[in-house]
Amino acid sequence: MENTQLIEARTSHTSGLLTGKVAFVTGAGRGIGAAAARLFAREGARVVLAARTEAQLKAVTEEIRAAGGTADYVVCDLADTGSVRAAVDRTVQLYGRLDVAFNNGATLQRPGPMDALPEADFDEVYTVNLKGVWLAMVAEVAAIRATAGTGAIVNNSSVGSLRGNPELPAYGAMKRAVNSLTESAAVTYGPEGIRVNAIAPGNTLTEMIRAWEAESPGLQERLTAVTPLRRAAVPEEIAQAAAWLLSDRSSFVTGTVLRVDGGARA
């Protein structure tokens, strides 16, 4: 009887996907992260935006507030352990709890074969795209456990993690490792009621992919040709998938890497 009541409570929806939840979003100053912060606020969450560039964070935060949402921001460098922990702690200080987190922040490598990538560049991609996600998850699990008790985390991966990636080998490798961290965290923290999933976006119109295209002319045409929907995604389409996975409507989903790629890996 108790299980039935719990399921009914989780699947009875009269408001936004994230109403009543406190959400933490990294890489929130632009692209998918900014779209997610706006969407999460529209879906009822109180949102803390984190990224390195304060001007971008301030602009998105003010936009959310002007639209009637609740948001604040904290400058955060995913390559810095103390900065990541302080950002999550600041979320709890501001709103008293943490329910959900979207680990979206990442950096791109210069496109090219692995033997042409400088070691310093490899180290940066590792530090931000893998270690930064690990640091964030560790801090988020601790915050959820100490406040909300249960919650959900979504990591932003990439379809480039799902097979060989000759143009972005280090980026793809780190994102594949994020998939593994996601699955391990799901198994580890599921018994506590903390769900952990990842999304794997395909071609999405962000500053990051435009930077890639600047180094690889014709990229959009090539990516569109292998996408059955024959177009790129806009950032909000990716954010919608993250919002669903963070919401109670996906209450029996954990340990999955959800492709959001227009069918490119079908």
Cα-based torsion angle of the residue sequence 199, 204, 208, 213 in order, rounded to the nearest 10 degrees: 140
> What value does the mean pLDDT take over residues 2-13?
43
Residue 225 has a CB neighbour count (10 Å cut-off) of: 9
d(CA 152, CA 112): 35
Beta-ladder partners of 51: 75
**Percent of the chain as helix, strand, coil, to the nearest 5:** 50, 15, 30
Confidence (pLDDT) at 57 = 98
According to DSSP, residue 202 is labeled -
Q: What strands, in cross-sheet order, belong to the sheet with 257-260? A: 70-75, 46-51, 22-26, 100-103, 151-156, 194-201, 257-260
Residue 211: pLDDT band by 50, 70, 90 thresholds?
Answer: confident
The one catalytic residue among 73, 95, 126, 171: 171
Q: Scan for tokens 């000759």, then name that residue.
A: 166
**Backbone Cα Rg of the chain:** 18
Confidence (pLDDT) at 188 = 98
Quick: pLDDT tens for 103-146. 999 999 999 999 999 999 999 999 999 999 999 999 999 999 99
Confidence (pLDDT) at 6 = 41
Residue 9: pLDDT band by 50, 70, 90 thresholds?
Answer: very low
Q: What is the mean pLDDT of the chain?
A: 94
Tokens found for residue 55: 């001007």
Q: Scan for tokens 């999304």, then name that residue.
A: 199
d(CA 168, CA 5): 47
Residue 14: pLDDT band by 50, 70, 90 thresholds?
Answer: low
Q: Is 73 a catalytic residue?
A: no
- 12 pLDDT higher than 50: no
Sign of CA dihedral 244, 245, 251, 257: positive
Asked whether 104 and 129 are in contact (CB, 8 A), the reply is no
